[in-house]
Amino acid sequence: MKLMAHDIIVRPIITEKSSRMMEDNKYTFEVHPQANKTEVRKAVETVFKVKVEKVHTLKVRSKPKRMGVFLGKSRAWKKAIVTLAEGERIEFFEGASV
């Protein structure tokens, strides 16, 4: 299955921690569960027109949740922390604040 760049990057993650990481040129995204580091790198470089230095990926496991008497789970997803080259920025995040 060939994924396109916009299919790989699901959404940006904007939290207090990810906002602090932006100061170190690190941006956080939710990515497609089958995407590997190379595909994530190419997708970010294509979509945002920046140079990527490093990519760290991790799987966020589901947690048990309860709504009254009903039991369930939150969904599992994949996160990518992308470090950009020195001097690069993603303007998409600049107006975002938590």
Question: What is the CB neighbour count within 10 angstroms for residue 27?
Answer: 25
Structural domains in the chain (count)? 1
CB 18: neighbour CB atoms within 10 A? 19
Q: Residues with Cβ < 8 Å from 14, sequence gap 6 or more?
A: 93, 96, 98
pTM of the model: 0.86
Q: Would residue 71 count as lying in a domain? A: yes
Answer whether residue 95 is part of any domain: no
- Expressed as residue numbers, the domain containing 52 is 5-90
Among 40, 31, 47, 34, residue whose Cα is nearest residue 90: 47
Structural domain includes residue 65: yes
In a domain, 32, yes or no: yes
Q: What are 25-53's pLDDT values in tens digits?
A: 999 999 999 999 999 999 999 999 999 99
CATH number, position 71: 3.30.70.330
Residue 58 inside a domain? The answer is: yes
**16: Cα within 13 Å, side-chain hemisphere:** 0
97, part of any domain: no
pLDDT of residue 91: 81
